[in-house]
Amino acid sequence: MVPAVVLKGKDGMHSTRKPEGSPSSLRVDPVSRRDFLSRTTMAGAVGAAATKALAHGDGDVPPKPAATTPLESLAAPGRAGLLFPQQNTLRNVLDISGIWDFQLDPQEEGEDKRWFQALPAPRPIPVPCSWNDLFDDARDYLGLAWYRRETYVPPSWRGQRIFLRVGSANYAAKVWVNGDLVAEHLGGHLPFVADITKRVSFTKGNVIAISVENKQLPGRVPPGAGPGGGGVAGLMAGFPLTTYDFFPYAGLHRPVLLYSVPAHPSIDDVTVKTTIEGRDGVVMVRVTTADTYAGKGRVRLGGTETMLTFQAGTAEKAVRVPSARFWSPQDPHLYPLTVTLTQGSHAVDSYSLDVGIRTVAISGDQLLLNGQPVQLRGFGKHEDFPLSGRGQNLPVWIRDYELLRWVGANSYRTSHYPYAEEAMQLADRLGFLVINEIPAVGLDFRESDEVTAQRQTQALQELRELIARDKNHPSTIMWNVANEPLGGLPLGLGPRDARAEAAGMTFFRELYAEAHRLDDTRPVTLVGVQGGVKEWHGIFDVVCINRYYGWYTQPGQLELGRQALARELDELHQTFGKPIIVAEFGGDTIPGTHNTAVEMWTEEYQVEFLRGFLEIAAQRPFMAGMHVWAFADFKTGQGTGRAEGMNFKGVFTRDRRPKMAAHFLRSRWAQ
Ligand code: GCB
């Protein structure tokens, strides 16, 4: 039997305090090494606490809090499920995206003046879309803005519970329906839902108004550039000023939906976990209802149907699939699953999703998919395109998956925020392995305790929402809780800051523990900056690092860069004994710029840079993956380090044409 998750090789803190990647961080003595086993078996998963807390000696590794049952732990605690709305014979969806009215509110007068009823001087805007590329006066605008539209709610929905769901409002949103405030939400990139059953009219148009603002404030995640600066891009002091290296696009970035579900009883959430037993797959299904339903139901998986018995709104079932096809990039087979609530012979609610039967595990320094070592080949990406900005753009997603396949990639990271739900569904269907990341980029632990505490609250919320949203996707193989947090200057440029490092340690232990409390089926990682705090990696299951030897350091000196990389990978392996992924490596490359001498910014340099890193990694069997930075060129703020307000590290241009590097990667990967 292959356990669902075997996480091994937990190392604690290390006594030698050297920044990772700094030239003299060559010898780091592991002072404590722990192994633990978090094992979910089919039999153990339903009913028994299957998480074994790891031995916890000197306090340097967080305890894994005992989950109640693993399936319970994956369900969102104390909040409505975030099931993707679907149309079937019992449920309804009305997409109210399209052209909305829009108005900037720099004076923040809209709420007092009741703009949630009517906007005084609206102009049209598409939803979903960022506002920044559409109107010159809104290009760098990050303050408050209003969206409004009217919509009829189908009278056939009468008697059902009606919800409004915003796919992503970046960053802070408030929602009004017919003049009533129905929801507030902080954090872009993740959906939120309001029950508007009692607010809607079936006899006239309903006014939906949403205010959105994207101020760069220190307590947010990602944080705004605070007094202490912060973030890699902060060093370059771009405009608009951010703590991160991508344009702070704002607006309603994903569809706005109305949907209805049966009034009572109705399915609130479905959680699926899969394990492998010999050649069989076992799918554990947990269904929760919106109330304390105590009736019957059924679950159909492929051709098998079994009964569900609900108690206090919950039912669980393990369904065996003999001689199953296991989900993998080579064979992304999905089994259709439908859960139904029944009263007598009637179906009263039902919900369907596609299930990929697969396991992810860590054994020593290996990352295992379905019990076999797997190496990730791919990229860090962005949701970014001219005009639509960070707004959902399905043609771009389809093209990107086509190009990922063309180049021979099997994986990508959702840098630096959760991507569209449709993108996750496509990854399931097309067989891509996704490192799924919360928007915790630009964290700097040199800030005050108060600011750090605000960020922690927000980061935990984002982690809970992300796991609630994406827990059932086989493509998500790992959660990432932060990109390049700082506990001092990056690249080993300054002295170490013990206070900041300790603050980060506390912060990440909590995020790690929460991720595993909610999901014990996937590894959890942190993506570290070059020259960052090495000890933080000791908390996590996989060591992910971003490295720019030969670009930001050793510029123009590829051989020196390769040597530095090789040295550091060996050290990290010796220190932690865990799988290692280089989650970013690359150099800016102006498309069409060439030279016979391999020189920075040319296409030749990008090819040689990537070749060097890939060769070093290929010689090391403990390397679990190489993600090139980046898949495509993308928009940033303006600054001296970013020609044309662009990051040119893409191997495809922003309009998805291949640079030489794309052909090079294809020659290595697509065999
Ligand atoms: C990084 C960041 C990424 C940047 C990249 C760069 O380490 O994680 O957001 O875009 O470097 O190109 O500098």
Find all residues with CB under 8 Å of 639, minimum gap 6, and list them: 233, 236, 237, 238, 239, 645
Would the pLDDT of 177 be above 90? yes
Could you read off the pLDDT of 29-41 as tens digits, one per residue? 222 222 222 222 2
- Cβ of 629 less than 6 Å from ligand 1: yes
Most informative mutation of 20, 232, 489, 646 for ligand 1 (most atoms within 8 A of CB): 232
Instruction: State the average pLDDT for the chain.
Output: 88
Per-residue pLDDT tens over the stretch 441-489 = 999 999 999 999 999 999 999 999 999 999 999 999 999 999 999 999 8
Is the pTM higher than 0.85? The answer reads yes
Q: Which atom, in ligand 1's list, is nearest to the CA of 529?
A: 7
Q: How many residues are recorded in the chain?
A: 671
Distance CA 661, CA 592 (A): 12
Picking from 20-24, 190-194, 657-661, which range would have the lowest pLDDT averaged per residue? 20-24
Stretch 496-510: mean pLDDT: 97
Query: Which pLDDT score, from 0 to 100, does residue 235 have?
Result: 52
Q: What is the pLDDT of residue 494?
A: 83
Q: Which of 19-33, 131-145, 265-279 has the lowest mean pLDDT?
A: 19-33
Does the CB atom of residue 584 touch ligand 1 within 6 A? yes
Give the Cα separation of 102 and 451 in Å (integer): 32
Of the listed ranges 23-37, 210-224, 282-296, 633-647, the one predicted with least confidence: 23-37
**Planar angle of CA 178, 182, 187, nearest 5 degrees:** 130
Mean predicted confidence (pLDDT) in 321-328: 98
**Whole-number pLDDT of residue 300:** 98
Rounded to the nearest angstrom, the distance between the alpha carbon of 245 and the centre of ligand 1 is 6
Task: Give me Rg for the CA atoms of the chain.
Answer: 25
Query: pLDDT value at position 257?
Result: 98
Q: Is 568 in the pocket of ligand 1 (CB under 6 A)?
A: no
Judged against a pLDDT cut of 70, whether residue 378 lies above it is answered with: yes
- Percent of the chain at pLDDT exceeding 70: 86
Q: Please, which residues have CB within 8 angstroms of residue 498's CB and are 6 or more apart in sequence? A: none
Q: Is the pLDDT of residue 289 over 90?
A: yes
Say yes or no to pLDDT of 380 above 90: yes
Maximum alpha-carbon separation in the chain = 77
Task: Give the SS3 label for residue 235.
Answer: helix
Name the residue with the closest Cα to ligand 1, atom 9: 245
* Pairing outcome for strands 542-546 and 580-584: parallel
DSSP state of 66: P
Residue 227 binned pLDDT confidence (cut-offs 50, 70, 90): low
Give me the pLDDT at residue 318, please: 98
Q: In this structure, which residue's CA is closest to atom 2 in ligand 1?
A: 245
DSSP assigned state of 456: H
Q: Any residues with CB less than 8 A from the CB of 346 and at least 6 apart, and which?
A: none
Tokens representing residue 131 in the block? 């506002």
- Using CA of residue 106, residue 111, residue 114, residue 116, what is the dihedral sign? positive
* Per-residue buried b or exposed e for 319-337, using 16+ beta carbons within 10 Å of the residue's own CB: bebeebebbbbeebbbbeb
Scan for tokens 């005992």, then name that residue: 66
Residue 544 pLDDT > 50, yes or no? Answer: yes
Q: Does the C-beta of 245 come closer than 6 Å to ligand 1?
A: yes
pLDDT band at 236 (very low <50, low <70, confident <90, very high): low
pLDDT tens for residues 509-532? 999 999 999 999 999 999 999 999
Q: Are 629 and 546 in contact (CB under 8 A)?
A: yes
649 in contact with ligand 1, CB cutoff 6 A: yes
Count CB neighbours of 66 within 10 A: 12
Q: How far is the CA of 561 from the centre of ligand 1 (A)?
A: 17
448 Cβ contact list (under 8 Å, min separation 6)? none
Ligand 1 centroid from CA 417, angstroms: 14
pLDDT at 72 over 70: no
pLDDT (average), residues 271-298: 97
- Tokens 């030969």, residue located: 550
Whether the per-residue pLDDT at 12 is higher than 60: the answer is no
pLDDT category at 28 given cuts 50, 70, 90 is: very low
Q: State the catalytic residues.
A: 484, 584
Is the Cβ–Cβ distance between 451 and 458 less than 8 Å?
Answer: no
Portion of the chain with pLDDT greater than 90, in percent? 83
Residue 483, φ and ψ in degrees, nearest 5: -115, 120
- Report, as an integer, the average pLDDT of 67-95: 68
**pLDDT confidence tier of residue 237, bands split at 50, 70 and 90:** low
| DSSP codes joined into one string, 190-203 | S-EEEE-TTT--SS
Q: Is 647 in the pocket of ligand 1 (CB under 6 A)?
A: yes
Cα(469)–Cα(165) distance, integer angstroms: 13
Which segments of 302-432 are extended strands (E)? 304-309, 314-321, 335-343, 346-355, 360-363, 366-369, 372-373, 376-380, 411-413
- Pick 237 or 642 by higher pLDDT: 642
- Look at residue 9 and tell me whether its pLDDT is greater than 60: no
